């Protein structure tokens, strides 16, 4: 299945793009997705740091199952205010 | 009332939204852009938001605080885009019949916003820039070289 992944702030700058379409096997999880993103963008985040993910505009745990058409965003540490 | 805007914020306007004759206390917090970080001169801040989710999360905070403090009147306005030094990036206005709930809910609103709302702040220096709160994402040159090596 194809999943559109959007990058913000630090991740957008490190990836050098706003979004990417990822091809993932059916039944992939958020954790599978971050693994694939790290493979394609090794310098996005150091290995010891968890990449926080939002699915359909809410935070999603690593075990969350993805489905085709989900809106996935990678969320670097937030710093509003 | 929740607002994300690229325009200059008007604290009077945000505060007016929570004022009612049934409230005896109004607390308004202003976040303003600071001109230094660890001795380096900051010349400008840039805010970026995942707007749809930021609004959802601000609405969650609004609802949680209403329930926890038994108050109705909370307004939050956050500016995004470029914000020059000394200008207002955040307005939180809370009103309640008595002052304690207004102070506490206002403090909590700012704390929670900084923890959960997908808004990012970049400090622009004369000779560089930094995404705030991303220290754990720094990649040392050794790690960078190692990652590079794995790729090939």
Going residue by residue through chain B, which has 152 residues, state the pLDDT in tens, using 9 for 90 and above: 999 999 999 999 999 999 999 999 999 999 999 999 988 999 999 999 999 999 999 999 999 999 999 999 999 999 999 999 999 999 999 999 999 999 999 999 999 999 999 999 999 999 999 999 998 999 875 554 444 444 44
Which chain B residue has its CA at the smallest distance from A76's CA?
Answer: B134
Those of residues 10-29 in A touching chain B at CB distance below 8 A are 10, 13
B85 contacts: CB under 8 Å, gap ≥ 6: B33, B34, B35, B42, B43, B44, B45
The pLDDT, as a whole number, for residue B141 is 57
How large is the ipTM? 0.95
Residue with tokens 């109705």: B72
Residues in Cβ contact with A16 at an 8 Å cutoff, skipping those fewer than 6 apart: none
CB pairs below 8 Å between A and B: how many? Answer: 90
| Closest to B69 (Cα-Cα) out of B32, B99, B39, B40 | B99
Please state the rounded mean pLDDT for residues A5-30: 97
Name every chain A residue with its beta carbon within 8 A of the beta carbon of B139: 43, 46
| R_g (Cα) of chain A, nearest Å | 12
Nearest residue in B to A57, CA atom: B53
Kindly determine whether residue B50 and residue A45, on different chains, have CB atoms separated by under 8 Å: no
d(CA B52, CA A6) in angstroms, rounded, equals: 13
Question: B96-123 burial, b if ≥16 CB within 10 A, otherwise e?
Answer: beeeebbebbbebbbebbbebbbbbbbb
Which residues in chain A are closer than 8 Å to B92, comparing Cβ atoms? none
E strands of A1-81, at which residues? 2-7, 19-23, 52-55, 58-60, 71-75
pTM, full prediction: 0.91
User: What is the per-residue pLDDT for B79?
Assistant: 98
DSSP-derived pairing of the beta strands A52-55 and B25-32: unpaired
Q: pLDDT (tens digit, 9 = 90+) per residue, A22-71?
A: 999 999 999 999 999 999 999 999 999 999 999 999 999 999 999 999 99
Residues 6+ apart with CB under 8 A from B63: none
């Amino acid at each position: 299945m194809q999943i559109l992944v959007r990058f913000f702030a630090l991740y957008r700058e490190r990836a050098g793009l706003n979004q990417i379409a990822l091809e993932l096997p059916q039944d992939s999880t958020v954790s599978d997705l971050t693994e694939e993103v790290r493979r394609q963008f090794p310098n996005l985040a150091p290995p010891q740091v968890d990449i926080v993910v939002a699915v359909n505009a809410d935070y999603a745990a690593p075990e969350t199952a993805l489905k085709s058409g989900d809106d996935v965003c990678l969320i670097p540490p937030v710093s509003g205010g | 009332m929740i607002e994300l805007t690229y325009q200059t914020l008007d604290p009077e306007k945000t505060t007016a939204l929570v004022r009612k004759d049934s409230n005896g206390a109004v607390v308004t917090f202003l976040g303003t852009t600071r001109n230094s970080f660890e001795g380096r001169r900051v010349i400008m801040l840039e805010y970026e938001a995942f707007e749809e989710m930021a609004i959802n999360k601000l609405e969650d905070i609004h609802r949680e605080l209403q329930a926890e403090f038994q108050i109705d009147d909370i307004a939050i306005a956050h500016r995004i885009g470029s914000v020059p030094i000394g200008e207002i990036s955040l307005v939180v206005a809370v009103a309640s019949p008595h002052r304690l709930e207004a102070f506490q809910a206002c403090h909590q609103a700012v704390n929670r916003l900084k923890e959960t709302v997908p808004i990012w702040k970049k400090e622009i220096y004369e000779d560089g820039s930094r995404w705030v709160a991303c220290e754990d994402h720094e990649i040392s040159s050794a790690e960078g070289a190692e990652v590079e090596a794995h790729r090939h």
